[in-house]
Amino acid sequence: MIKINILYEDNHLLVVEKPINMLSQKDNTNDKDLLTLVKEYIKEKYHKPGNVYVGLVHRLDRPVGGIMVFAKTSKAATRLSKEISQHKMRKYYLAIVDGIIKEDKGTYKDKIKRQENGFSIIKEDGKDAILDYEVLKRDEKENKTLVKISLKTGRHHQIRVQFAYHGHPLCGDQRYGKQDKTQIALYAYRLEFIHPTTKEKLIFKKLPPKKGYWTKFTVSKYVQ
């Protein structure tokens, strides 16, 4: 069995690091997915017979690694989903984008529409898509910018679509950027939420592995 990097576990939650290039949940490719691995882990660790309940409350795109939380009970799943719908769960990403972003901070407000072909586009009849970004470091020589992103909404491919639309596609993005066959430079590095039963505020952080574009910046210098 593939070893999962578990960041936190109790009777209600499981917080894990999703490996890069792994599905969040099964699709028609039948490739390994994190949800199935989490179920297998719980089944094996606690010797549970039959089907194991694990609630998937949010997802990450297949090429994107980072922190995800799973619910171990239906009550926890309902409460976490409510936090997400009320924008109380805070999701922070790191990204390296093409070009130099001149503003130190900014907000992108667009409307995103998901297409039948699996792509998403900016379109007037789409759904509201809002994110805040902060420039952490500019590399004039490489013509790249390291940014921290706070998602306010959770649209399909939102970060990738919005940065591409605004002239700064994510490095290594095979769909919306230049197809250079390097791993996409997008990582879900921080997750904050209220525990569904104890009501304690939980904060988890995990920096991206030093591979591909992430070798261009010493990320630990710029994030807390």
Active-site positions read 61
Cβ contacts of 185 within 8 Å, gap of 6 or more:
95, 96, 97, 170, 171, 172, 208, 212, 213, 214
CA distances, 88 to each of 48, 72, 125, 151 (Å): 33, 20, 26, 11
Cα–Cα distance measured from residue 163 to residue 99, given in angstroms and rounded to the nearest whole number: 11
Secondary structure element (H or E) that encloses residue 160, with its range: helix 158-165
Structure-block tokens of residue 84: 């997400």
Cα–Cα distance measured from residue 158 to residue 101, given in angstroms and rounded to the nearest whole number: 18
